[in-house]
Amino acid sequence: MKRVVLILALLVVAGAALAWVLSAPKPRYTEAEWQVLGLAGDAGAGRLVFFAGGCESCHKSPGQDDPLRLGGGLELKTPFGSFYPPNISSDPADGIGSWRPVDIANAVLSGVSPGGSHLYPAFPYSSYQRMTPQDVVDLIAFLRTLPAVPGRAPANDLAFPFSIRRAVGLWKLLYFDNAGLRPDPGQSAQWNRGRYLVEGPGHCGECHTPRGLLGEMDETRALAGAPLPDGHGKSPSLRSGGFLDWTTADIVEALTSGFTPVGDVLGAGMTAVVRNLAELPESDRQAIAVYLKSLPPLGPPAPAKP
């Protein structure tokens, strides 16, 4: 009996050790690898990346209207608990002013903090991983121009076992490839630009794609509509229903003004999305529309109009 207990104990220890090794954070770049890229940032281009990525939607300081005061702290309610996006202003103590460019790149592309810890995927690096290094460098250059905002966001309030940050590494093994995005040479430059914006910085799937029990996106139902993370309402399908009747011009208009083809106004989280996308050149909104209209339908078509 003692031998059986000892064997079981050894198996548990070995399993825990294996899980610890497998769950180790894996940043995309070392400092040396980042330096080899030799990229210079353009703050003007980074401003467009900032709005394409919707950074202010989560990181803007609550209780004020300036989208460039990035003190964090907005509560994001999810089935796993409440997340509080951090201060990403240039404050060297409370924000990311002291982070090296490679630190910001690894946070955005790999979900790894400068201290070597996993970031929770409430920060949508599952989508941001598809951003180009140049866009990240440009974003960093723009963030460096923004004001320092003192103060730190509250700590996340998560239920056990989701409060075990190291376990995010096991989640990444299953659902995060840390691979980026390659252009499709069989498609036009406009289509590839639209795909990049939708699947990368625009992270549309984070709200419009249904998720599994562990919060992973169901890529077989990409953009097919999903309950909102806070449990209130649903993001509509972009591949079925009435959306199939929208033209590319309808999509461009909706992403510019917020008005749908039937005169409704996009509400809820789309209010911030429209506000951000309106900062981009119209060619980007057209590229998004072209890409979305190219996707094959999923689910039943909209009922016939009488």
Please report, for the domain that includes residue 265, its CATH number. 1.10.760
pLDDT of amino acid 5: 56
Burial class (CB in 10 A: 0-12, 13-18, 19+), 254: buried
Do 149 and 198 reside in the same domain of the chain?
A: no
Q: Within a domain: residue 47? A: yes
Q: Is residue 32 scored above 60 in pLDDT?
A: yes
Q: Within a domain: residue 20? A: no
Do 97 and 165 reside in the same domain of the chain?
A: yes
> Are the beta carbons of 43 and 192 closer than 8 angstroms?
no
pLDDT of amino acid 19: 58
pLDDT of amino acid 65: 87
Distance CA 252, CA 6 (A): 65
Do 157 and 214 reside in the same domain of the chain?
A: no
Q: Within a domain: residue 143? A: yes
Do 163 and 212 reside in the same domain of the chain?
A: no
Q: Within a domain: residue 301? A: no
- 120, 148, 175: which is the final residue of a domain? 175
Do 148 and 198 reside in the same domain of the chain?
A: no
Do 42 and 162 reside in the same domain of the chain?
A: yes
Domain count, the chain: 2
Average pLDDT, the chain: 89
Q: Within a domain: residue 48? A: yes
Do 199 and 282 reside in the same domain of the chain?
A: yes
Q: Within a domain: residue 229? A: yes
Residue, of 268 and 88, whose pLDDT is higher: 88
What does the pLDDT average to over 53-64?
93
Q: Within a domain: residue 200? A: yes
pTM: 0.90
Do 226 and 167 reside in the same domain of the chain?
A: no
> Are the beta carbons of 288 and 198 closer than 8 angstroms?
yes
Give pLDDT tens digits for 179-234: 889 999 999 999 999 999 999 999 999 999 999 988 899 999 999 998 877 667 78
What does the pLDDT average to over 68-89?
93
pLDDT of amino acid 153: 94
Q: Is residue 306 scored above 50 in pLDDT?
A: no
- Other C-beta atoms closer than 10 Å to the C-beta of 100 total 13
Q: Within a domain: residue 6? A: no
Do 41 and 171 reside in the same domain of the chain?
A: yes
Do 282 and 204 reside in the same domain of the chain?
A: yes
Do 162 and 52 reside in the same domain of the chain?
A: yes
Do 240 and 161 reside in the same domain of the chain?
A: no
Distance CA 87, CA 124 (A): 16
Distance CA 194, CA 213 (A): 29
The domain of 67 spans 36-175
pLDDT of amino acid 158: 92
